[in-house]
Structure 1
Amino acid sequence: MDIISEVFEPTPENQRPYRNALGSFSTGVTVITTMTDTGPVGMTANSFASVSLEPPMVLWCPAKTSDRLEAFAPAQHYAIHVLRHDQHALALEFARRADAFDLVDRQDGANGAPIFDDCLARFECTTAATHDAGDHVIMVGNVTHVLLNTGAPLIFAQRDYGTFAQGI
């Protein structure tokens, strides 16, 4: 197999190859939800990571250009739903519209954030901190409740969705 290398500086004119390089790192896919004065809001995100086991903390990073940042930035509570391999359509729908709750059996979580059980894992969070980070905001949450189901994760890499190939 021939390996083609490209070395470049991550400047604005090299944004596409930079994004392609970042896309080489596979991530899981999540739906983040919160409650606003006008009702529940959700969005698909792949910028999710564990921060700390003690205390239990996670982070995610919405883009400042997102029309849903206005709902999440002041939120004191939100829920992060890790999607299963068969929830590609759900990920796409929450990416398209903030009110895709008609596709899930929505309930109110312990802290009031909208939640659904049909996912691989769920983390109910209380906002611990937010940090400015270039064109994104880092939202750090204290995890207050967790749901863990069985199954395989939905994966996002190289601008496409897939599943985890086992046995490699």
Structure 2
Amino acid sequence: MKKKIIIPISAVVVVLIAGLVILINDNDKKAEDFFAFRELLDEDFFPILRDSGDYFDTLIERENDIGTYFVEDGYDVNLKLKSRLKEVKYMVINTDANYEDTHALKKNVLTIIADMEHFLSSIYTMSPSQYDFEARKLFYDLLGRGTEDLAKQVREMNEILGEYYH
């Protein structure tokens, strides 16, 4: 009689332990995948994000001589940022995201990159003369909207990252 009870209970315990081991292993793999992708972002993406922010800050600071800034440095900085973004986009696209959280982060990063590429191209083509006040107003309206949109995307990225960094 005891054998009839012990054998099913033992089988249930073994199945529960096996399920727990599989779940823990899967969670470890998810975290490993996520942190590996995050390391790539640390090396390549976040520096560009920071440098782009510095560039946008410079555009705001140089409002009164924006035309001169573009001739001196602005065009070159813009083109270098776009070139670096293209390299990072290629790297992100070619990085496998095996789990849902990593995939969500990858999708968000690619959206940020696409928005930044478009935004930098718009800035490049709209660069106003410091004497054309109407063009400067349109330019700074674009700059304000663009930085707000990027800030929103970065907040979404930080929410995804926050799930692994409590």
Sort the TM-score into its range (normalised by shorter chain). Answer: under 0.3
The normalised TM-score by structure 1 is 0.25
Tell me which protein shows more strand as a share of its residues: 1
